[in-house]
A = this chain, B = another copy of it.
Amino acid sequence: MDTITIKDIARALNLSTSTVSRALRDSYEINPETKRLVTEYAERFNYRPNSIALSLKENRSRVIGVIVPQIANNYFSQAINGIEAIAYSRGYYVIIFQSHESYEREIATVQQAVARKVDGLLISLSSSTSDVTHLRELQDRKLPIVLFDRVSKDLDTTFVTADNFGGAFAATEHLIQTGRRRIAHLTIPPYISITQERLAGYRAALEKYGIPYDEKLIQYTEFGQNDVEPFVDALLDQSPDAFFTASDRLAIGCLAALKKRAISIPETVSLIGFTNTPVADLLAPPMSTVEQPALEIGQMAAEQLINQIEGKQTGTQPGRITIPTRMIVRASSERTPAPHPLREQSSL
């Protein structure tokens, strides 16, 4: 692509490159007339500083790398949206990488990001990542890293996550309060952080109401695999009276499976998912949801990372930042009044 450089301007105006540079950078002591000449010429020929040369000189790229399991996903695309908003407002660009839920690809991708000279890394771990030494090494080499959503406690950085525990607790409690007691939980792979947090929230709610935890009511599915029917079948064998699913995809898959089996959803099942889709209103019955604050998570993560890059210590880091979730109740078929929670009972 045809571009004009400082050199071109210098040649055209019979000046040295340093003078031109000074004129453009609005530096001290420069002849106003010279400056006018230079800026006018630059304007006219649409001069733009070569950011690559600048990066080389300043040893930084003003680019932050974002690594997500996949882009074409409601949650992550919203998070990226939040990341971009903050990044752009602070003068950074965003390069996006996908790990495709693969540990190997995550490693390769992180390498590429580093080779690309990103100033920092924003990562949501792939579902098959348990070992994070590839990230710890980079940290040791002083690369700023912030994790979001799918985090690992083995890494000593800032984490930004949704309040998965609280969200799952609220969802489960809502189901209990509308009279369900055998709440099936259809969830994602057990070895990622959010799964465990959500399970803990689910169990805590059961415990609060004195409902025994039955692990046969839990089914773990893989990502990428769209066929949730067998898992739903396995859960149906346990005669549940509600479903609590851990994602949009699972919620939709679950509803589809129930519909296919002509199980009268409105009467027997309340379904709550972590979701962002506005279609929840249109399903029959409407699906209550726990909304993931994807945008805010992205914004917060970006802000933390850029602070770290620019050496602004926020005081409390490295630490964990939790963004609240919001529950939207859409199910209308209440059954019995809520049983009195056992724990509160005994503490009163």
Contacts and interface: CB of A to CB of B under 8 A. Distances in A.
Contacts of A73: 77
Contacts of A56: 50, 52-53, 56
A277 interface: yes
Contacts of A256: 281-282
Given A80-B71, A255-B282, A51 B96 contact: no
A81 B70 contact: yes
Contacts of A71: 77, 80-81, 84
Interface string A141-165: 1110000000000000000000000
A283 interface: yes
Interface stretch (A16-24, A114-122, A217-225, A310-318): A114-122
A98 interface: yes
Contacts of A1: 114, 138, 141-143
A287 to B, nearest CB: 9
Contact of A96 (B53, B94, B142, B278): B94
A30 interface: no
A265 to B, nearest CB: 10
A49 B256 CA distance: 51
Nearest to A294: B72
A49 B115 contact: yes
A114 B256 CA distance: 47
Contacts of A252: 278-279, 282
Contacts of A11: none
Count the copies.
Answer: 2
B95 A94 contact: yes
Interface string A283-302: 11000000000010000000
Nearest to A143: B1
Given A51-B115, A252-B282, A77 B72 contact: yes
A2 interface: yes
Contacts of A332: none
A268 interface: no
A7 interface: no
A143 B278 CA distance: 40
A124 interface: no
A340 interface: no
Contacts of A231: none
A30 B96 CA distance: 38
B61 A72 contact: no
Interface in A62-108: 63, 70-74, 77-78, 80-81, 84, 93-96, 98
Contacts of A143: 1
B116 A96 contact: no
B116 A93 contact: yes
A84 B61 contact: no
A51 B116 contact: yes
Interface string A1-42: 111000000000000000000000000000000000000000
A259 interface: yes
Nearest to A140: B2
Contact of A52 (B52, B94, B98): B52
A117 B51 contact: yes
Contacts of A115: 48-49, 51
